[in-house]
Structure formats: C-alpha cells, structure tokens
Chains A and B, each alone.
Chain A
Amino acid sequence: MNLFDEISAILQDILDIEGRDITPESYMIRELGAESIDLLELSVALNGRLHVEINDDDIFLKTLRMDMKEAHQQGVEAATFLAVRFPYLGQERLRGIVADIPGGPTLKVRDIVAYLNWQIEKNRGA
C-alpha cells in the first residue's frame, strides 16, 4: 500500500467518508471536513502504522499563519520563508499555499504525503 492509499484508508475510517471522495488534491479541512481531533487521530494512526516520528505542527501546517506573519515582519518573501519552515513542500506548492490562504485552511492530502515521504527518507538516511 502506498502512502496515499494508507492515508486514504485511515481517513475513510476516521471521517466516515468514501474512498472516491479523497484525492491528493483534497483539502483536509475545507473539503473533507476534518476537525482538530480528526487530525490528531490521523497522526496517531500514521505513527502507529508507519513507525515514524510525526510532529503534528509540521505535518498539518499548523503554524502557517504565524509563519506568514513572521515572514512579513522580517520582510522576507512568504514562500521563501516557508521553504525553510516546511522543507518537504516544493516551491510551487508553497506559492500555491500563499495564494490560497484567503480561501481558508490550505492543508491538502498531498501535503501529508509529502511530509511522510520526507520523514521516511530522513529516517533511512539516519
């Protein structure tokens, strides 16, 4: 089972939704309706299945708005600042996130996949 399928299976269980409703481009909160407790449950389930350390702030981009504010205060371009904070998200995705923020929570399933891939790679390298 690849990472996306793994996440999708857990989400179907936690959110009681159909697999066909979940794609890498699905917004976790805006579209799938995940709440804080659901995200926590997802993190715990992924941690248990994949045996990787998960930082909830990072995997769910919880500090995004604070980071944007910090970038603004420092006079650094947002996507450049965020690239340091979230190294597992590519520049293109980060620019998308910055543009998308006014529309609501930007977290997508693909961001979770990206974090986990990065974390697993890091573990392999260690």
Chain B
Amino acid sequence: MIAGAASTQSFTGRRALLIGGSCRLALCLADRMIAASLFPILTYRSEAGATRIADFLKGQENRYLAVYFNLSRADSLGAMLAQAESDVDYLVDFAHGELESFIASVDEGRIDDYFLENVACRAKLLKRVSRIMLRKKSGRLVYVSSTAALRPNPGQGFYAAAKLASEALYRNIGIELGARGVTAVTLRPGYVDAGRGESFLRDGGEEALRKVPIRRAVKAEEVAETIMFLLSDGARAFNAVDICLDGGLTAGK
C-alpha cells in the first residue's frame, strides 16, 4: 500500500457497486474502500463467491453489502439494484465470462450467449446505473478491462472483442454524461498476479514476464490502489479514456 495514500484522497460519494465482487481484485479493493470509509456493495454469482466475500471481509460485516447478481440473467439486475437501494455513487466492473477459443474452432452455440452476457447485459446494467448517477448528478465508473483487448493472444479473440465493445460503452457514458457529473474510465491491467493472470503465470508465464519492462507481474494490491485513485475526486479529469497498468508491456515490441 502506498503510505498515506488513503488519507490524502477525497471522495464525494460513498456507495460503490463492485460487479464481479468475489474476485481477488475486487476483494482487495473492497478492503481499501472500507478503510477509506466508502461502502462497497459486492456482487456474487455463486455460493462459493458469497463465501469468499464473507471470509475475506470477516469482522467488517456492517461496512459492506454482498448481493447476488448474474450478468447473464437480466432478471437479476432489478433485484440487485433494489438491494443496493438504487443508490450508487461508484461502479467498478470486474465481471467477465470465459470463452477461450480460436475463432475457427469455436463452439458456435456459445457465441450468442457469450456476447449476450458480456456485452448486451452489461449495456443494460450501465443504462440502469448511469440513470441512478444522473439523478444524483454525480457518478464515477471504472471498467476493468485488460491489455488483451489491445494485444490478444491466440484464443483471446472473443474475450478481446467483448472487452473492446464494453470499453466503448463506458467511454460513451463519459462522453454523454460528463457534463452532468458522470464520468468513466477504462483500466487495462496487464499480467496481474490474481485471477486469470495468476494461473497463466503459474503455467509457464515466466517467459511472458520477460517482455514486461518492469520484469514482474502487476500486483493485485497495485490494481486496487490505482482504482482507488481513479475513483477519487482528484482523478475526475480522467474521463472517456483507457489507461494501461501493465508495467510497460504494451509500449514496446
């Protein structure tokens, strides 16, 4: 943790909706939010996810909320927002489904569902949340994308396509509602020692790290700290933009 960072950042809002709230990055972030007196609302889509949240945030029960939400089930959106009392100042979106396949070998039956969940359902979520923020004339959205959106490996075509489409949705919220106090940023982490990145690095990713100028993976804590900064009042001029957090990975060949 960057010494003193939490105490120097100011936040106009308090309630932060974390989509995909049971992943390690989201849990790291929730911990920092609680320390900064924000109120994270973490979504989970399975009992295992709910347990992970409860275990990680043990002892802080009154300082966060965990709610069920499945991006692929549009009917869970209304219930989730009702539980969040339709009151959200920040949205941080970590959710993303898996579909790793060469374009030429994909199971065609999975294509529709993949884009429905990761693009169309996300657009519905964004419509609802941005209206809540518009009513308050204040809101900040951070979409956690990936450098793979820009530099996909073989097999990441669907992932990259859905990420780029989602980035475009977030960008346009920043363009459309910026004048009304609602702004959005996309963060593209590179190799991170959590989630997909962790298993990738474990399975022979040493080679990949040689291409990263800082010669290491980005730490989950660094991602969380960066998101805290991006949510803070001081970072609001970052709007409708994509920011890489990749140790320099995408800057060189």
* Residues of A near any B CB (own CB < 8 A): 37, 40-41, 44-45, 47-48
For the complex formed, measure the closest distance between the CB of B134 and the CB atoms of chain A, giving whole angstroms: 5
* Residues of B near any A CB (own CB < 8 A): 131, 134-135, 176-177, 179-180
Interface residues of B, dominant DSSP: helix
The closest CB in chain A to the CB of B177 belongs to A37
| A37 B135 Cβ-Cβ under 8 A | no
| Assembled-state Cα–Cα distance A48/B135 (Å) | 8
| Assembled-state Cα–Cα distance A40/B130 (Å) | 11
Taking CB atoms, residues of chain A closer than 8 Å to B176 are 37
Q: Which of A41, A44, A47, A48 has the most B CB atoms < 10 Å from its CB?
A: A44
Top 3 closest A-B pairs, CB basis?
A44-B134, A44-B131, A44-B135
In the complex, besides A40-B134, A41-B134, 4 extra interface pairs with C-beta distance below 8 angstroms are A44-B134, A44-B135, A47-B131, A48-B135
Taking CB atoms, residues of chain B closer than 8 Å to A37 are 176-177, 179-180
Point out the residue from B135, B177, B179 that lies within 8 Å of A45, measured CB to CB. Answer: B135
Taking CB atoms, residues of chain B closer than 8 Å to A44 are 131, 134-135
Q: Which of B135, B176, B177, B179 has the most A CB atoms < 10 Å from its CB?
A: B135
Taking CB atoms, residues of chain B closer than 8 Å to A45 are 135
The closest CB in chain A to the CB of B86 belongs to A48
| Assembled-state Cα–Cα distance A45/B180 (Å) | 13
